[in-house]
Chains A and B, each alone.
Chain A
Amino acid sequence: MEYIIHIIILSAITAISSVSLNLVLGFTGLLSATHAALYGIGAYTVAIMLTRIGVDFFLSMIVAMFISGLVAFLVGLILNRFRDDYYAIATIAFQMVMATVFLYWQSLTRGPLGISSIARPSIFGFSFSSNISFLILSIVILGIIIFVSKRIVDSSFGRVLKSLREDEQAVEVFGYRTYHFKLTIFTIAAMMAACGGALYASYFSYINPPSFYLFYSIVAITTVVFGGLASIRGSVLASVVIVVLPEALRFVGFPNDVAAQMRHVLFGLALILLMLYRPQGLLGEYKL
């Protein structure tokens, strides 16, 4: 039972990250490979605030959202000048810069040692220390994120995003400042990703830089593409599959380090096969 709760919590955290990436990748059509970095900023902010300053989890989560959003806004100012594959390359480069920051800004992040004993959230004297209560908390936050995302994509703002994905120049001709739309959604997605990062840090009570490397951006992209671009339901479903599938490897009985590498192989193969045979994913509306 404990194990099932663990799986559901992981799925919920993954779903937060993939739903938010879907806003950028699926709805707006920007191939961002820097999601893990923005998620990592959330995780690190919460970890640092909880362990060093000792403030409340929910307050630090809000600060984390703000910082991650601010970074995304500033980087987005530059990234938005690029299109398609140049955009992707610039995001990869930024992702690598952030990995360097996590690893080498040691006075802040403690570098490769990572930050340990991060507290569980608590509010009004009630602590989410048991896994079942943490499960409820993460489901609630995921629910809020799904609700907000749905509101965004169903609004007129969301319709502009979708048309931007189809033909950016046409949208510009109609007088929309596509630049602002792209920047806004990128910032919003980063804030949501930071929530996921915050939950991740608090749940595992330990974070270190490798958890926020490019590979996890690739995992997030795989999840979104697998579930289907521009399908929020698909992203949630795919998150569950992507968490459960590698767990199966554990039962096959590989040693731990081999199992970790097997996950990389599995995700890579999944991505290649998706591109070859089903580029629209499970429930997707359109192809990449």
Chain B
Amino acid sequence: MEVFVQLTLNGLIAGSLYAMLALGFNLLYGTVKFFDVAYGTVGLVAAYTILAFGRTYDLPIVLVGLVGVATAGLLNYLIYILVYKPLRTRKASSMVMLVASFGVFSVLQALIAMVFSSQFFSLRNSESVSMFKFAEGSVTDVQVITILFSLVVPLVLWLLLSKTKFGRAVRAVGDNEEVANIVGINSSKIVGWTFFLSAVLAGLAVTLVGLDRGVEPYMGLALLLKGIVASIVGGIGYVWGGVLGGFVLGLVENFGSWYLPSEWKDTIAFVVLVIFLLFRPRGILKR
């Protein structure tokens, strides 16, 4: 029973992270329609900015966190302007965009590794961690915050997308860019904002990972994979689908590690991905 509770808790914590990763990925995929391989690595930039800032200045974590997340967003916007925007103006296929994102991924990961070395860094020192008892399991303060974020962030994003003019424009571009342009939406601007926001979401998730466990330059790909699997499980392109998928994946992975060593978590994610792609390619919440 104790193991069961702890595994459920771990599953929910992992699920919240995957849910947030899926949100940003879904937003980007829903609007721009391509798989951005660099997505997780762009998110890592947030954590490393925080690391660099936290070392030099003694500022409250919320402030540093905002700087980090905004840096990741701005960087992704810059990448959009330099790489994806010219490709989109040329009406390049989603395959060309994907291959270009391989390049972005490779450059970013190497730059991070060059500046910060390949070591594993935690964003906080372990003495300041406080533990909470919950039923028969235990969670840390960061993990509680993570779960809270995973409930608030989708709500905010959902409100943004469904209740504001900006959100309607984003959805319009996702549905049909040409028509959106005809009715006077500046699609290039909207797509730029989508890149910014998706990196902010990825950055937020990665920052929470960094506070909880730590970061290393090579984890971007695994994070991306989790985001994609969660999106596909829940239904690609839908806000709540990504959240649902994230929690499903988190729970499946953690209960899977009851039987398998935890190194095989990526493999479990792969199996989940394949099962869904084969039998329910449009996710649980397909319309």
Which of A78, A85, A271 is within 8 Å of B100, CB to CB? A271
Is A275 in contact with B96, judged by CB distance below 8 angstroms? Answer: yes
Asked if A218 is at the interface of the complex by the 8 Å CB criterion, the answer is: yes
CB-CB < 8 A to B225: which residues of A? Answer: 92-93, 96
- Give every chain A residue within 8 A of B264 (Cβ-Cβ): 100, 104
**A262 interface residue (CB < 8 Å to B):** yes
CA distance A89 to B225 in the complex (A): 8
Asked whether A113 is an interface residue with its Cβ less than 8 Å from the other chain, the reply is no
Q: Is the CB of B99 within 8 A of A221?
A: yes
> In the assembly, what is the distance between CA of A82 and CA of B228, in Å?
15
Tell me the chain A residues, 96-145 only, with Cβ under 8 Å from chain B.
96-97, 100, 103-104
Q: What separation, in Å, do the CA atoms of A275 and B83 have in the docked complex?
A: 9
Q: Does B158 lie at the interface of the complex (its beta carbon under 8 Å from any beta carbon of A)?
A: no
Bound CA–CA A262/B261 (angstroms): 35
Q: Are A85 and B106 in contact (CB under 8 A)?
A: no
A33 to B35 CA separation, bound complex (whole angstroms):
13
| Bound Cα distance A31, B87 (Å) | 18
CB distance B110 to A93 under 8 Å?
Answer: no
CB distance from A30 to the nearest CB of B (A): 10
Cβ A85 vs Cβ B94 within 8 A: yes
Q: Is the CB of B100 within 8 A of A272?
A: yes
The stretch that binds A, out of B4-12, B43-51, B69-77, B270-278, is B270-278
**Within residues 6 to 49 of chain A, which ones have a CB less than 8 A from any CB in chain B?**
31, 33
Contacts of A100 in B (CB 8 A): 263-264, 266-267
Q: How far is the CA of A92 from the CA of B87 in the complex (A)?
A: 23
Whether the Cβ atoms of A218 and B102 lie closer than 8 Å is yes
Q: Which 5 A-B pairs have the closest CB atoms?
A: A268-B106, A271-B103, A264-B110, A268-B107, A272-B103
Residues of B at under 8 Å CB distance from A?
Answer: 34-35, 37, 83, 86-87, 92-100, 102-111, 113-114, 221-222, 225, 228-229, 261, 263-264, 266-267, 269-270, 273-274, 277-278, 281
